[in-house]
């Protein structure tokens, strides 16, 4: 009888221990707008792999590429509510939460990816992400989308005037709407999952995105012309829901944070490697690609300057801090 009781007790302890272990297991839904094969998704896959290894499988990361969980605005809302745990998106989109993030969408702010890395990986980038916590978001690291280019289905863009009247899809925030207006085009804010269909149906004439995005989403099927302008560089904020973050133990937080940082070098490497192959892909897809002459690019900058000045005035201290970091990076 005593032996039976001991066995029963041991079984109860084992079941209890199993229950505690099971309760500690966590699942992360990690989403982005781009499809499988894009460098952002490759970064997500690397992150999931590192988390799996570091947690011994107790933290599982399920990936949802291709915007299947909704556009960025919907995803931000879901993260704040705790129904989506993680996402990667253009940092400038977060201006809807903290206005200072507009600075990441300023045209011609970064000259190259080396400058961008120095800024976002340093004190400035960390300070910016810290501003998101009161909004229910935790910034873990920055990945790369790349420099943006303009595509359209109407005509080759050889000078600023060629943009006049074109309906151009933009990321739905104020600075992007204003710079497109400044170039004489008609801005059409759209969530990214809607862009391909809008191009196909001729609801819009064009859009602007890095070459890796244009290639991965096969915009060459519905766009004829691409103009290499490098007018914007997009850091990508890798975010986690604060509601979910606060449920993690200190050890679990370290696993997730370390995995985010460790996957960053790999993700950026993939983004930069694919930038060249993406150019070949869009050409093979039938797009006519041209570069603006230096004099025309200077006109682009000049047209956009009043927009930068206008939006910079509202976040003057943040702009000053960013410019100071850029000055250090350029020494």
> Mean of the pLDDT values across residues 160-188?
95
Q: Give me the numbers of helices (H) and strands (E) for the chain, helices first please.
A: 12, 10
User: Does residue 283 come out as left (phi exceeding 0), alpha (psi in the -120 to 50 range) or beta?
Assistant: alpha
Per-residue tokens: 195: 């862009």
**318 CB neighbour count, 10 Å cutoff:** 21
Query: What residue segments make up the domains of the chain, in order of their start?
Result: 25-329
The CA distance from 105 to 102, in Å, is: 5
202-241 burial code (b ≥16 CB/10 A, e <16): eebbbbbbbbbbbbbbebbebbebbbbbbbbbbbbbbbbb
- Residue with the bigger pLDDT between 8 and 178: it is 178
pLDDT per residue over 13-71, tens digit each?
A: 443 444 434 347 999 999 999 999 999 999 999 999 999 999 999 999 999 999 999 99
| CA neighbor of 322 nearest in space, from 115, 91, 119, 102 | 119
**Does the predicted model carry a pTM greater than 0.85?**
yes
Q: What is the rounded distance in angstroms from the CA atom of residue 236 to the CA atom of residue 137?
A: 14
pLDDT at residue 308, as a whole number = 93
131-166 per-position pLDDT tens digit: 999 999 999 999 999 999 999 999 999 999 999 999
Model confidence pLDDT, tens digit, residues 254-308:
999 999 999 999 999 999 999 889 999 999 999 999 999 999 999 999 999 999 9
Task: Answer left, alpha or beta for residue 302, where phi above 0 means left and psi between -120 and 50 means alpha.
Answer: alpha
Closest CA to 166 of 181, 149, 148: 181
Average pLDDT, the chain: 92
- What is residue 117's predicted lDDT score, i.e. its pLDDT? 96
Rounded-to-integer distance, Cα 40 and Cα 215, Å: 13
First vs last Cα of the chain: how many Å apart? Answer: 81
Task: Using the predicted structure, report yes or no on whether residue 10 has a pLDDT greater than 80.
Answer: no
Enter the CATH code of domain 25-329.
3.40.190.170
């Amino acid at each position: 009888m005593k032996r039976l009781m001991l066995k029963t007790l041991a079984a109860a302890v084992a079941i209890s221990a199993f229950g505690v272990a099971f309760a500690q297991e966590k699942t992360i839904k990690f989403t982005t707008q781009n499809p499988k094969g894009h460098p952002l998704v490759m970064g997500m896959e690397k992150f999931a792999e590192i988390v799996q290894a570091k947690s011994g499988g107790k933290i599982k990361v399920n990936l949802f590429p291709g915007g299947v969980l909704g556009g960025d605005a919907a995803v931000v809302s879901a993260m704040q509510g705790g129904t989506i745990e993680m996402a990667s998106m253009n940092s400038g989109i977060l201006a809807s939460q903290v206005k200072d993030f507009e600075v990441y969408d300023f045209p011609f702010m970064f000259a190259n990816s080396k400058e961008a890395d120095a800024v976002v990986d340093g004190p400035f980038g960390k300070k910016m992400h810290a501003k998101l916590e009161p909004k229910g978001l935790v910034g873990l690291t920055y990945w790369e989308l790349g420099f943006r280019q303009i595509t359209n289905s109407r005509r080759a863009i050889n000078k600023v005037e060629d943009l006049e009247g074109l309906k151009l899809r933009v990321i739905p925030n104020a600075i992007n709407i204003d710079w497109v207006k400044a170039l004489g085009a008609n801005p059409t804010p759209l969530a990214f999952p809607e862009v391909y269909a809008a191009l196909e149906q001729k609801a819009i004439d064009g859009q602007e995105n890095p070459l890796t995005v244009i290639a991965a989403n096969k915009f060459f099927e519905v766009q004829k012309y691409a103009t290499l302008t490098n007018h914007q560089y997009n850091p990508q904020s890798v975010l986690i829901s604060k509601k979910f973050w606060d449920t993690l133990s200190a050890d679990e937080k370290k696993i997730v944070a370390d995995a985010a940082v460790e996957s960053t070098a790999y993700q950026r490497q993939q983004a930069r490697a694919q930038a060249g192959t993406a150019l070949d892909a869009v050409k093979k897809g039938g797009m006519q690609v041209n570069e603006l002459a230096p004099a025309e690019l200077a006109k682009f900058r000049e047209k956009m300057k009043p927009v930068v000045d206008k939006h910079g005035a509202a976040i003057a201290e943040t702009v000053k801090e960013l410019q100071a970091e850029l000055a250090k990076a350029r020494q």
